[in-house]
Each structure stands twice: as structure tokens, then as C-alpha cells.
Structure 1
Amino acid sequence: MADSSPTRSPAFSGNAGAPSTTRLEKLKAQSRKPGEASFFFYDAHFKTDAVKVLPGEYFVHDQDLVILTTLGSCIAACLWDRNARIGGMNHFMLPDGGGAQDCGRYGSYAMELLINELMKRGAMRTSLEAKVFGGGQVISGMNTLNVGQRNTEFVMNYLKTEHIPVISKDVLEIYPRKVCFFPHSGKAMVKRLAPTNPDALVAQDRVASQRIVPPSSGAGSIDLF
């Protein structure tokens, strides 16, 4: 396990004698936009505040709390502005499709949500860089639809079109993955999980495979932990 060297913000205090409010409590109390992750907790391993990004969600921040997600055939794109030192992660299930209520589950919308939020928070497109994870074939016998491969091809093509360099990636193969991203430093960590078809990931990938339309013919470091 690599040393993540995360930092934790000091507790915020109001007037002298008033109860202090931790960063975690403040994060939980804030209102959230549609699709913005809201599952906050204290991560005992990294010893810092954390937020879990579920399928269809994204999260952007400028401090080094840890953003976490777990992937099967889904993709998580971690974008970071090297100048503003702000970053974010999304988690999408399919390249495109769907309606407004679940738009974050589709790559074409999920990427726009993430980039737009980063820019609202002070990031610039010209200084963004990406780390990409997921796209694994975690369900045996699902080669025909190639959900993970299609997701991977989509995000790589999207980032190329948007001129956002992919400085590192861990994609495809048969592994589920746990991804951790520190949005202030841009540090990403990935853990390849045993390809034993964890129930939750299998259920998630089966939902994706049932909704997908079969296709017509036609630099930075990542730490393993």
C-alpha cells in the first residue's frame, strides 16, 4: 500500500466556546446538485474525510479528502486542473442514451457534468488532465456486447476530442477496481479486486448490459494498493 500522504483540514470553530464543526459535518450539511455525490464518511485507512461516488454521480472538490468508487465495466474519469489544483471524479455505466433523470449514468452527459462543475469552481479546460479507470469485463460470457470496451473507447475518444491529455489509465481486462482520488493533489490510487464477480458489481453490470444497444459493425503515475 502506497503512502497517500493525505491532509485533513482543521476543524472550523465559530465563536469561542461554541461547538466546533468538522469538515465532514459541513460537507454533509451542504445542499447537493442533481447527480452530485452525497455519501460522506471518515475513511479509517486514509485517515481523512471521504465521499463515495455511486453510478451516475460525480464529485468535485479543492481539498484532499478522498473520492472513492468501485468499478466493473463502468468508467470513472478523474479530471484535475494542475494550476487551480482542483479535481473531480465521475462514474458512468454506458457511453450514451437515457433520459434526463439518469443522465449521469451515460458518458456523454457524465463528462459534461464533471467538466462544467470544474469550470464553475475555477478550473480551465486548457490545464485539465485525466486519469481513467474501469471498463473491465467482470462477467464471463458478456463478450458480445463489450460494455467495458465500449465505455473505454468512448471516454478515450471524448478526451481526445476535448484535447484533455490522459496522463495515466488502468482499463479493460477482467478486474473489478476500487479507485481513490485526491482532488487537490491529483493523486490517484487503484486496487484491482479479485475477479470473483462480487454480487453488487455483477448486478450493476447486468443492468448496463441489458440496457445497451449492441454495436453495429463497422503520464502520471497510478499507485496500486
Structure 2
Amino acid sequence: MSAAIREVAEVYLGPGEFRFATCPTRLRTILGSCVAITLWHPQRKIGGMCHFMLPSRVRCSTALNGLYADEAIELFVRQARAHRTEPEEYQLKLFGGGEMFPELQRHVAFSDVARLNVNAALEMAALYRLDLIAQDMGSTGYRSIVFDLCNGDVWVRHQPIRTLN
């Protein structure tokens, strides 16, 4: 009479990592200026997550690398097709791109990696015609992400940075 206990694989993704999996799996990561892309196929209960650090690079090899937004999306496309599905059948959610050092922007001229990452994620979603159903990007601070491949839910805990004025 008790409910069956289901074993769930818990996988942590570090910066640049990409994982495509099936239910029952939970994918986790922690983001600052990086962005996590999640793709989930609601009928097949398959999908993946990546933790990219930069929008793109000048390709110096043929191997795709999840460190870069454009290459991470290509990894997703290849996995979708390898599983006999099309990328447009997946639900897309985007997270991260938090500015980690907002106080430095007033004193030092430097590239805003967080903003560039957010823009790259949105551009890739539009380019590949992906179904963007949720996003939590920008602001400051870090985010903890948990993506459950059994139901497509993503839990986000956002800890903004408090700045002194």
C-alpha cells in the first residue's frame, strides 16, 4: 500500500558541461554570469541541460564544446535528432546571466559577460526556432538550478548581490 520509491539519478553540471538524459534524472548546476539552457520533450520525457560560459569562439577544432552558447545549442540539436525527435518539439527554459561584480562597472571599463551570455541564449533560441516557455536571467548574483526530466520542472533559487551605495 505504500507508494513505490523511485530511484532518481542526480547529475551535477560544472561550467562547460552538457548532459542529455531520460527520466528519472535530475540535472543540477550553479550559475553566476553563465547561462543554463534546458530542453525537455514532454511526450518522451527526455532532454538535457548545458552550463555555458561564453557566447561563442573562433572554431579551432571540429569538436563541439559546451562552454559556448552556439556550440551547446548544436549539441542539443544533434542529441534531439539522435533520439529521433526534432528540436522544435522541445520546451526551452533559460536561466542565469547574473552580473557578479556590479560595483566594478562604475569604476572599471570591461566587457559585461553576463549580458553577452543572456543575449546569446536568446539569439540561439530564435535562430533555432525553439519554444521558449520560461526564463529567469539577468539581475545580479547566482542561481541554483534543478531540472527534473520526469516532468520538465525547473527549480530556481536566486541569490542577488547586495551592493553598497
Coarse TM-score class (shorter-chain normalised) = 0.7 to 0.9
TM-score (norm 2): 0.83
Would you say how many aligned residue pairs link Structure 1 and Structure 2? 152
Under a length normalisation based on structure 1, what TM-score does the superposition of the two structures give? 0.62
Cα pair distance change 1:132/1:164, threshold 3 Å: same
**Alignment partner of 2:14 out of 54, 60, 63:** 54
What does residue 8 of structure 1 align with?
A: 6
Computed over aligned residues only, the root mean square deviation of the Cα atoms, in angstroms, reads 2.0
2:94 paired residue number: 132
Contact 1:60 1:183 in 2 (8 A): no
Match of 1:188 among 154, 159, 162: 154
Structure 1, unaligned runs of 5 or more = 1-6, 10-47, 197-225
Higher mean alpha-carbon deviation, 150-159 vs 90-99, is at: 90-99
TM-superposition CA deviations, 1:36-70 (whole Å, max 9, x none) = xxxxxxxxxxxx42001111111111113210000
- Is the partner of 2:122 in helix, strand or coil? helix
Cα deviation per residue 1:123-176 (whole Å; 9 max; x = unaligned)? 322311200000000123147411111111111111112111210010000020
Aligned-partner residue type, residue 104 of structure 1: G
Q: Which has the higher contact order (CA 8 A, sep 6+)?
A: 2
Larger proportion of strand:
2
Query: What SS does the corresponding residue of 2:43 show, helix, strand or coil?
Result: coil
Identity of aligned residues (%): 26
SS at match of 2:33: coil
Give 1:194 deviation, angstroms: 5.0
The structural deviation recorded for 1:121 is: 2.4
Q: Does the alignment pair 1:167 with 2:129? A: no
Which residue does 1:83 correspond to in 2? 43
Please state whether the residue corresponding to 2:11 is helix, strand or coil.
strand
Partner SS, residue 105 of structure 1? coil
The amino acid across from 2:137 in the alignment is: V
What is the SS of the residue equivalent to 2:52? coil
Q: Moved runs in structure 1, 4+ residues, more than 6 A?
A: none
Larger Rg over CA atoms: 1
Distance 1:116 1:184, change over 3 A: farther
